[in-house]
Structure 1
């Protein structure tokens, strides 16, 4: 399973829906969406500023995360951004690899 950091911003009717439903019902809606693809919610926080919601979730496949982001963003009420999270051991493994690469102009 892959963990993702998510950031979400309510827009337009999404803000009105949040005010009507409250924060816990919106969190519960995300939990159900994650469960529908075999995932789970690790953390969920509201914040001030450009980002309204921050958290971490886990899903089995990248395509599950992409499907969720596409579905949520397609509503036009919430804008979600995802960042895959890696363990320190993933970076250790990456540091041992030497991909072939030619910088521009060389």
Structure 2
């Protein structure tokens, strides 16, 4: 399954909910949401930088990832970005794929 890095930033209302629920409950909600989408959460971490949470997960496909990001954003508690990520082995495979790209001006 493809892997994704879900980065999110809490809105004011989202922070109020986090303060009420705590991190463990929020992590469990995220895990259950990903599993309900047919995926698997590998890890979730909280931060106090530009992004508040980082979730590494596997999802069935990009359409599912987009649907999950839309649903989370529409709920209003988080601003979210979903980034596809590759394993080292997938990058190895990609380097063996031949491309006929021509740079500008060449």
Q: CA deviation at 1:55?
A: 2.4
Query: 4+ residue stretches of structure 1 with deviation over 4 A?
Result: none
Q: Separation in 2 of the partners of 1:73 and 1:104?
A: 37
Match of 2:14 in 1: 14
Q: Separation in 1 of the partners of 2:15 and 2:63?
A: 28
Deviations 1:29-82 (A, max 9, x none): 111211111111111111112111112111112211111111111122201112
Q: Separation in 2 of the partners of 1:41 and 1:90?
A: 19
Match of 2:84 in 1: 84
Q: CA deviation at 1:104?
A: 3.2
For the aligned residue pairs, the C-alpha RMSD in angstroms reads 1.5
User: Matched residue pairs, number?
Assistant: 106
Q: CA deviation at 1:105?
A: 4.1
Match of 1:34 in 2: 34
Match of 1:51 in 2: 51
2:104 match: secondary structure:
coil
User: Given the two structures, how large is their TM-score scaled by the length of structure 1?
Assistant: 0.88
**Runs of 5+ consecutive residues of structure 1 not aligned to the other structure:** none
